[in-house]
Structure 1
Amino acid sequence: MAAAAATMTAFHSYSPQEQQQTQVPQTSDTPQLSKKPKTLLHKHPLYTPVHTKLSMQFREKILCLEVMGIDSGKALSLNPLIHSITLNSIHDTVSFLQSKGILQKDLPRIIGMCPKILTANITDELNPVFKFLSHNLNVPDHSFRKVINKCPRLLVSSVENQLKPALFYLQRLGFRDLEALAYQDCVLLVSNVENTLMPKLDYLISLGFSKPEAVEMVLRCPGLFTFSLDNNYKPKFEFFEQEMKRDMKELKEFPQYFAFSLEKRIKPRHLEAMECGVKMSLQLLLKTTDEEFAELLKQRTKSVVM
């Protein structure tokens, strides 16, 4: 935290013109950023002999990211445009986020997950997101941090082309709780309607559920919109249908089934219950803790024996 604060202090001590210079003015109060790469980033790939001709400004920019706790190598690989932005631009973005309640300690995770934030236009891209949170989701200013920490991708999503269409689609389906959408299920807002949300609903309908039934399932378990068709839905439904041989009504009543691990939860619990000759609802089978499940097996096994 102290190092990050020192870096931000250094930002304030440079004018845009000074940042273009190859040498950084130093005073007794200014961190000697030009010397730090030798200790902080000596082993960083960008500081190998192959890159000895890197400009001082670029070195300072990399150091700035690293001191803030951001993996500069990963950030650059995910967003090459960082090469062309200035220290002053990074400072403006960080200052803007902090003005919205984002704390210094939040930056490594937020920017680490979405390095495009650093090159986003504050006026045309970042600020509209906060207006969307305020006007469309009724998020108060003091809660911006909570929402952004929950889903940093909001900051790199177009309000007009992504966030609003997703919100309108979800509201048409019956999502009425704006607070839940903002603080719990905001990942749905950064999901593409045609390529992500609709195919999940269509898959549930293809299993034999009516559209109203499928909609009710996603309303009860919004996470259904986030699961992979190939890696989640299909193998779990195949096991449900072929191995568990349970009634589809149970799946409709407990759609959270798809949220549990097939290998670590569903299969072992099912097999253990089968070995004990115990039948229980899908919810009890999966939602109970290990201790509760063991106790249920013990009690019901006794009753079967008696």
Structure 2
Amino acid sequence: MIIRLQVLFQPLNPSSYLTPPSKRTKNPNPNPKFNPIQKPKSYKPLKNGLTSTSSSPPQPTTDCGLRFHEKLLYLETLKVNPTKALAKNPYFRSTPLSFLKSVENCLSSMGIERSAFGRIFDMHPQLLTSDPYTDLYPIFDFLLNDVHIRFPDIRKSIIRCPRLLICDVEDQLRPALCFLRKLGFEGPNALNCQTTLLLVSSVEGTLMPKLDYLMSLGLGYEEVVNMVLRSPGLLTFSIENNYRPKVVYFLNEMKGDIRELKRFPQYFSFSLEGKIKPRHRLLVEHGFWLPLKEMLKVSDGEFNARLIEMRLRLAG
């Protein structure tokens, strides 16, 4: 059972983010605590387990050699790279082993297996010296009671996106949740353990530009919203590395109609070089055409069988 910390939350009003670009004002959010003009802080500072008045990392004492060696062995049991941990988290040297184990106990209490710790701590070594009660439990509390993720699914959310553990609830997670709910991620489309990774995205810096780009293709606002609700992964793709090259190939080489992207937004989830281009070129080589869904959604074996069948029909 998690003891929910009594924190007074001030609700945000990101509804203005959801208006089409033509109707946006320069200062759509009256709440001074979350200025949409400024990029919200994505990460929160994780506190050292020891109280220190110095701004620099505390130095190890003369008798800590054995204890430090114990901590290195502890990292090895977790399958964490000690060199990387020390380089990215200098507070590790002075933090007692008992504090490190309290972080492990916190994650274990939420159902996260010890076998997953290595990947989590390697990605975010600052978690090793975090305070469970001020840094971690508030995040779990938010996921359980605000996002309404079931307790058995909390571990899935974290393993899928460990970055959740280093995001500040009020500066990052809550604004993103409000935006996504206004967008339509509620009810049957509510966030789940597979889509909570969207919460780590900046509203102004990441989510809105992707919506704007899709609308720049000639799609209406409601059409884009429906595409995103059907395929939430659209909000995780890079504009420059995913959207733009795939749109250019679709329009110039495939001579496609943007309306087909509206019907099959999953197009952007397939590899351009590994699947889209090879399959399209095979179809063109034999003078065939298939809708995006039929061309991409099937396995390689099914696609080749379909291609042979079409060739046989043509020959017959």
- The answer to whether the superposition gives a TM-score over 0.5 is yes
For structure 2, list consecutive stretches of 5 or more residues without a partner in the other structure: 1-59
Given that 1:137 and 1:178 are in contact with CA atoms closer than 8 Å, whether structure 2 keeps it comes out as no
**CA–CA distance in 2 between the matches of 1:156 and 1:256?**
30
Residue 148 (structure 2) aligned to one of 129, 138, 149: 138
Aligned with 1:181: secondary structure? coil
Equivalent positions of 1:85-234 (< 5 A) are 85-177=95-187, 181-234=191-244
Q: CA deviation digits over 1:188-223, x for unaligned, max 9?
A: 011111111111111101111111111111111111
Runs of 4+ in 1 over 6 A off after TM superposition: none
Match of 2:20 in 1: none
Question: 1:207 corresponds to which letter in structure 2?
Answer: L
Residue 240 (structure 1) aligned to one of 250, 268, 281: 250
Q: CA deviation digits over 1:36-82, x for unaligned, max 9?
A: xxxxxxxxxxxxxxxxxxx3333332221112211122223333333
TM-score by structure 2 length?
Answer: 0.76
For structure 1, list consecutive stretches of 5 or more residues without a partner in the other structure: 1-18, 24-54
**CA–CA distance in 1 between the matches of 2:184 and 2:280?**
33
Aligned with 1:249: secondary structure? helix
**CA–CA distance in 2 between the matches of 1:143 and 1:200?**
28
**CA–CA distance in 1 between the matches of 2:288 and 2:75?**
56
**CA–CA distance in 2 between the matches of 1:81 and 1:241?**
52
Alpha-carbon offset, residue 291 of structure 1: 1.1
Residue 78 (structure 1) aligned to one of 81, 88, 93: 88
**CA–CA distance in 1 between the matches of 2:189 and 2:214?**
26
Alpha-carbon offset, residue 303 of structure 1: 2.5
Q: 1:195 to 1:211 in 2, by over 3 A?
A: same
Given that 1:162 and 1:189 are in contact with CA atoms closer than 8 Å, whether structure 2 keeps it comes out as yes
Given that 2:111 and 2:152 are in contact with CA atoms closer than 8 Å, whether structure 1 keeps it comes out as yes
**CA–CA distance in 1 between the matches of 2:87 and 2:264?**
41
Alpha-carbon offset, residue 100 of structure 1: 2.2
Question: 1:299 corresponds to which letter in structure 2?
Answer: E
**CA–CA distance in 1 between the matches of 2:187 and 2:72?**
42
Aligned with 2:191: secondary structure? helix
Alpha-carbon offset, residue 110 of structure 1: 1.9
Q: Which has the higher contact order (CA 8 A, sep 6+)?
A: 2
Alpha-carbon offset, residue 122 of structure 1: 1.7
Which one has a larger percent helix, Structure 1 or Structure 2?
1
Question: 2:257 corresponds to which letter in structure 1?
Answer: D
Question: 1:67 corresponds to which letter in structure 2?
Answer: T
Q: 1:207 to 1:147 in 2, by over 3 A?
A: same
Residue 22 (structure 1) aligned to one of 42, 63, 82: 63
Indicate the percent of aligned positions where both proteins have the same amino acid. Answer: 45
Given that 2:157 and 2:197 are in contact with CA atoms closer than 8 Å, whether structure 1 keeps it comes out as no
Q: 1:241 to 1:108 in 2, by over 3 A?
A: same
Q: 1:105 to 1:177 in 2, by over 3 A?
A: farther
**CA–CA distance in 1 between the matches of 2:147 and 2:189?**
7
**CA–CA distance in 2 between the matches of 1:180 and 1:65?**
37
TM-score by structure 1 length?
Answer: 0.78
**CA–CA distance in 2 between the matches of 1:84 and 1:244?**
60
Alpha-carbon offset, residue 132 of structure 1: 0.6
**CA–CA distance in 1 between the matches of 2:61 and 2:224?**
58
Q: 1:177 to 1:157 in 2, by over 3 A?
A: farther
Given that 1:70 and 1:108 are in contact with CA atoms closer than 8 Å, whether structure 2 keeps it comes out as yes
Match of 2:33 in 1: none
Q: CA RMSD in A?
A: 2.0
Aligned length: 257
1:64 aligns with 2:74: yes
1:276 aligns with 2:307: no
**CA–CA distance in 1 between the matches of 2:230 and 2:295?**
19
Aligned with 1:94: secondary structure? helix
**CA–CA distance in 1 between the matches of 2:160 and 2:288?**
40
